[in-house]
Structure 1
């Protein structure tokens, strides 16, 4: 069963020297996502339409599916910013450009 895509966002992946990605990532990459004023982090599964790989320092439009965020989905809005992180810390920031309804 394919998970629905919740929103599209412009994501700015930090370069390695700024604490960002060390290696490129591909569609299906999962990172923790944190929204302003939300105490909980969620898992964000990323789908890349325009490219096969995202490299450290790249900015790209990405489709995002949130895992376990059903109650939070109604709070999403166009222009909302967020941060992506992994075990090493914050690796990217982004802004929602489009919301998909289920």
Structure 2
């Protein structure tokens, strides 16, 4: 299987369980929904951790993100753009794009 290349690096703040966020630690490869402020559609965001093996509830980290099924949307991304990460329980974190890895 061909490995997908990350679309951007982001600084993400994961919420604690008390704030409706993560209940347990997550590892590299974790997937969640990602929602951008002006986009009606949500995408699946695969997150790759290069600085640590696990992210714990309440942690902040710089993470590589690959969007699945977002090819037509990639040209609208920009550095400084914010977003929300969610799962079935609600919003689990917020982030901001710090670096784009592709030429739009």
TM over 0.5: yes
The alpha carbon displacement at 1:4 in A equals 1.2
Give distance in 2, aligned partners of 1:63 and 1:49. 8
The alpha carbon displacement at 1:74 in A equals 0.5
Q: How many residues align?
A: 102
| 1:39-88 superposed Cα distances (whole Å, 9 cap, x missing partner) | 00000000001000000000000000000000000000000000000000
RMSD value, Cα: 0.7
Provide runs of 4+ in structure 1 moved above 4 Å.
none
Task: Tell me the TM-score normalised to structure 2 length.
Answer: 0.97
Equivalent position of 1:25 in the other structure = 26
Give distance in 1, aligned partners of 2:53 and 2:5. 20
Equivalent position of 1:8 in the other structure = 9
Equivalent position of 1:55 in the other structure = 56
Task: Tell me the TM-score normalised to structure 1 length.
Answer: 0.99
Give distance in 2, aligned partners of 1:80 and 1:57. 21
- Uncovered stretches (5+) of structure 2, i.e. residues with no partner: none
